[in-house]
Amino acid sequence: MANDNQALHKLLNDGLLAAIADGSFDTLFFKYFAAVIAQADLKNRRIIELTNPLLPRSAPIHQPQFWLDKNSLTK
């Protein structure tokens, strides 16, 4: 079953980390979402930050490469 396929998990995880490191993840992300982000006109909106008490302790909240930087979107 795919849910316990450790080899697949490692391949996907390593591939995503490599794509983040070399910038290709951001290139692909913004290729598909830049227009929507621009249309949201975030620089003229109030951003309310919420904490999520359901986020697992294992979530890498202190690793900025895994999160969309709101400051870069409001320039």
Band of residue 6 on the pLDDT scale cut at 50, 70, 90: very high
Enclosing domain of residue 20: 2-73
Find all residues with CB under 8 Å of 37, minimum gap 6, and list them: 30, 73
Q: Provide the 8-state DSSP code for 59.
A: S
Least-confidence region, from 18-22, 51-55, 71-75 = 71-75
Domain count, the chain: 1
Q: What is the pLDDT of residues 8-26, one digit of tens each?
A: 999 999 999 999 999 999 9
Find all residues with CB under 8 Å of 21, minimum gap 6, and list them: 65
